[in-house]
Amino acid sequence: MKKRKIGFKLKIWIIFLFALTLSLISVIWINNELRPTLLAYCDQEARRVATETINNSIKTEFSNKISYDDIMAIKTDKDGNIVMIQANTVELNVIGSQIALEVQKRIADIKSRTAEIPLSALTGIELLANLGPRIPFNMKPVGSVLTSYRSEFASAGINQTRHIVYLDCAASVQVIIPLARNTVTVSTSIPIAESIIVGKVPNTYAEINSDTIERSIKEYNTNKK
């Protein structure tokens, strides 16, 4: 009886050690072989979701609240000729801060997502390209959302110039999947205001710097070359 009990316990231990070894090998294989592929597909989906969130935040919350006349001022001389296009840096700072906070809030509110991984990416078999599991992942914002502005001038006809003000927005999000995590940065640019300027555009204008909101006088004619 004792020998049978010892033999039974030994079999249990052997099965346990075999299962443990197999599990460890599976974890190592997943970590080394599958993790980069899983992260790549989850990162791609996270970029799409974050970009969509940024664009929707700006369009739904601010598109109808930003007026060209509120952020840009056209200065004329006594004869009505345009001599300067000046940026309202105070208003631009306020808008940029509000948009950054709204974008960060919306990204933080994103529920868990899933990314579809084609089996061909895991096995190398192209016939399985349309089949595959959906991998759940979580997203959370990392750091602050950064906003900046830039201007674009383009001809809009005879003696007319289109002035477009763009908002550039960048956000970093952390993608979290079982056994791994990664940080991705997404950037997008959206026109927030534009106007048709009738008359000769002056050789100098107040440009919105891409890094900080400050005015710098530059030659407009050089941009047309």
- pLDDT tens track for 47-106: 888 899 888 888 877 767 788 888 888 888 777 777 778 888 888 888 888 888 888 888
- The mean of the pLDDT values for the chain is 75
Mean pLDDT, range 150-175, rounded to an integer = 86
Query: Looking at the predicted structure, is the pLDDT value of residue 46 above 60?
Result: yes
Query: Quick one: average pLDDT of 123-148?
Result: 74
What is the identity of the amino acid at 19? A
At residue 223 the predicted structure's pLDDT band, cuts being 50, 70 and 90, is very low
Query: Residue 150: what are its φ and ψ, rounded to 5°?
Result: -155, 155
Cα atoms found within 13 Å of the Cα of residue 212, Cβ hemisphere only? 3
- Whole-structure pTM value: 0.67
**What is the per-residue pLDDT for 207?**
52
Domain ranges in the chain are: 2-223
The token pair at 47 is 């970029």
> If you average pLDDT over residues 172-196, what whole number do you get?
86
* Statement: residue 129 has pLDDT above 70: no
Burial of 147 (0-12, 13-18, 19+ CB in 10 A): buried
- Whether residue 145 is predicted with pLDDT greater than 80 in this model: the reply is yes
Residue 181 has pLDDT above 80, yes or no: yes
Q: How far apart are CA 183 and CA 177, in angstroms?
A: 12
Of 95-109, 138-152, 209-223, least confident by mean pLDDT is: 209-223
Residues 222, 204: contact at Cβ < 8 Å? no
SS3 of 81, please? coil
